[in-house]
């Protein structure tokens, strides 16, 4: 997570700075999530969910939206 710096000369400047820092933090979190998901998929950690979904499709428990 990026460090948050809360110093500015005006409220508007502070708001802009905090907004930019929030975006950076959210982007970093999103990238970490995506990386972990890719690693979990490659490691087969989500295979049971795929299998469960396929079984529900075959059993007619899923409808097209």
The predicted structure's pLDDT at residue 8? 79
Helix ranges restricted to H, 1-65: 11-42, 47-58
Inside any domain, residue 15: yes
pLDDT one-digit tens code per residue, 20-49: 999 999 999 999 999 999 999 999 999 999
Domain count, the chain: 1
Inside any domain, residue 6: no
Inside any domain, residue 3: no
In whole angstroms, what is the distance from residue 48 CA to residue 54 CA?
A: 10
Inside any domain, residue 36: yes
Inside any domain, residue 20: yes
Tokens of 60: 């007619």
Inside any domain, residue 2: no
pTM score: 0.65
Domain that holds residue 40: 11-58
Inside any domain, residue 5: no
């Amino acid at each position: 997570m990026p460090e948050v710096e809360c110093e500015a000369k005006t409220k508007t400047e502070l708001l802009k700075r905090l907004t930019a820092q929030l975006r950076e933090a959210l982007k970093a979190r999103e990238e970490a999530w995506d990386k972990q998901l890719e690693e979990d998929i490659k490691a087969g950690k989500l295979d049971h969910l795929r299998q469960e979904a396929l079984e529900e499709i075959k059993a007619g428990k899923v409808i097209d939206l």
